[in-house]
Amino acid sequence: MKNKDLSKEYLNIVKNILEHPEFQRRKEYPHHGEITVYDHCLAVSYTAYCIAKKMGLDYESAAIGGLLHDFYDSPWQECTEKKKLFEKHGFVHAKEAAKNSWKYFPEYMNEKREDIILRHMFPLNVKPPKYMESWIVTMSDKYVSLEVLKDIKHLHRYVGFNKKKERRK
Ligand SMILES: [Fe+2]
Ligand SMILES: [Fe+2]
């Protein structure tokens, strides 16, 4: 998704986050397959923004929460350390993303946006979203990830489970 394909209003909402050096670093994080974390988050954010706007909801929170929903610490594919099930990426990255969002973008955060980020992995993370905007982001995330989900063999990528042969050397 190129910036020229995005609406002016949307870009005004997210511009400062997109240009921030810490967020720019996500251009180097592989997410699912060839897609970077930056591209994935942008696609989820713009999808959620468009839906929320159409529904007359808080589209700014959908855009910002969507953009920050996978703002986790480090590329999970590079992690070779053995972890217990509930310490794996799928279970912990939403919390990491919320923590980083408060750290780098406190002026953009509030309780609703934190809920959007924390609950986006529902139902893997069992606590359901509290707000409509959180539901929109979790559904947009799944929709954008369909490339990965359409082949059941790749489901582990969506939930963030590493398969040995896919780990980067
Ligand atoms: Fe995620
Ligand atoms: Fe995601």
Burial tier of 53 (Cβ tally within 10 Å: 0-12, 13-18, 19+): middle
Query: For residue 1, is it within any domain?
Result: no
Task: Yes or no: say if 95 and 85 are a contact pair by the CB < 8 Å rule.
Answer: no
Query: For residue 157, is it within any domain?
Result: yes
Whether residue 89 is predicted with pLDDT greater than 50 in this model: the reply is yes
Whether residue 115 is predicted with pLDDT greater than 60 in this model: the reply is yes
- What domain count does the chain have? 1
Whether residue 81 is predicted with pLDDT greater than 60 in this model: the reply is yes
Task: Yes or no: say if 137 and 156 are a contact pair by the CB < 8 Å rule.
Answer: no
Distance 142 CA to ligand 2 centre (A): 7
Question: Considering every ligand atom, which ligand is closest to the CA of 66?
Answer: 2
Q: How far is CA 112 from CA 3, 59, 146, in A?
A: 26, 12, 26
Query: For residue 104, is it within any domain?
Result: yes
Question: Higher-confidence residue: 149 or 120?
Answer: 120
Query: For residue 28, is it within any domain?
Result: yes
Residue type, 57: L
Distance 141 CA to ligand 2 centre (A): 5
Give me Rg for the CA atoms of the chain: 15
Distance 81 CA to ligand 2 centre (A): 22
Distance 57 CA to ligand 1 centre (A): 22
User: Span 131-135, mean pLDDT?
Assistant: 98
Among candidate residues 131, 132, 157, the one with its CA nearest the CA of residue 146: 157
Distance 68 CA to ligand 1 centre (A): 10
Range of the domain at 24: 11-74+85-164
Query: For residue 4, is it within any domain?
Result: no
SS3 36: strand
Distance 15 CA to ligand 1 centre (A): 21
Query: For residue 63, is it within any domain?
Result: yes
pTM of the model: 0.86
